[in-house]
Amino acid sequence: AILPLDSRRSRPRRIARVLPRAWPRMEAAVRADGGGGGEGPRPRRLLVLNGMGLDTRGDTEESRAYFRSCARFADYDRHIRRSAQELGALVEHVQTNDLEECMARLRAATEEAIVINPAGFSKEAALAECIAGLGKPVIEVHYGNFFAKGAQSAVTASCSGLVVGAKLDSYTLGMRAALTALEPSYREFDHPPAGS
C-alpha cells in the first residue's frame, strides 16, 4: 500500500488513495508562510516517493549500522516537508513497499516532477522502464553514497539526475533539481539546442 505519513504519528498510515482535495489547503499554507509568492504563480507540485524499506529505516540496530544513520521515516518526512516549504513547492510524500503500487503511483502522478528514493527497488528493471516512460523530470536520491559500498541502481539511467551521500539534504537537493528542471532556462546550454 502507498503510505503517506500522518504528521501526528511516527509511523506511516495506510490510505486507499492520495486525496487531491488536500492540495488547496497545502497551497494556502505554503503561501501563508511566504512560499509561492502570494499573488504570483502557483507553487510547483512535486511527488517525493520512497520505495521499499524506507518505512522501517533507522528502526533496528541492523538498519542503523548498514545505513550509518539513526534517521527514521518520520525524520525523512519532516525534512522533506520543511524543504518543500522553504522551496515554495507543494509536496506529496508517499512510501510503498509494493513495486506494482510504486509504478502505478508514478504513472498516475499529476505532479510536475518527481523525486524518488527507490531504496529496495533500486535493482528493478521494471521500475527503470516505468520511469523512462514518464516524460517529466525524475531525480533519484539516496541518503548515503551507495557507490562507496560497491552498489548500483538500475533506476539511475532512466532518471534526469542523481543525488547521493548528502544524507537528508539529498532530498532537498533533489527537490531543488526537480524544480530547476521545470524552468525554461534549464535547457539553455543543451546541445544541440531544442528545435535544431
Residues acting as catalytic residues: 66, 142
Q: Which residues make Cβ contacts (< 8 Å) with residue 156, sequence separation at least 6?
A: 140, 162
Asked if residues 103 and 79 have their Cβ atoms less than 8 Å apart, the reply is no
Could you give the angle at the alpha carbon of 110 between the alpha carbons of 101 and 53, nearest 5°?
30
Q: Which residues make Cβ contacts (< 8 Å) with residue 54, sequence separation at least 6?
A: 73, 76, 95, 117, 119
Q: What is the dihedral of CA 162, 163, 168, 171, to 10 degrees?
A: -50
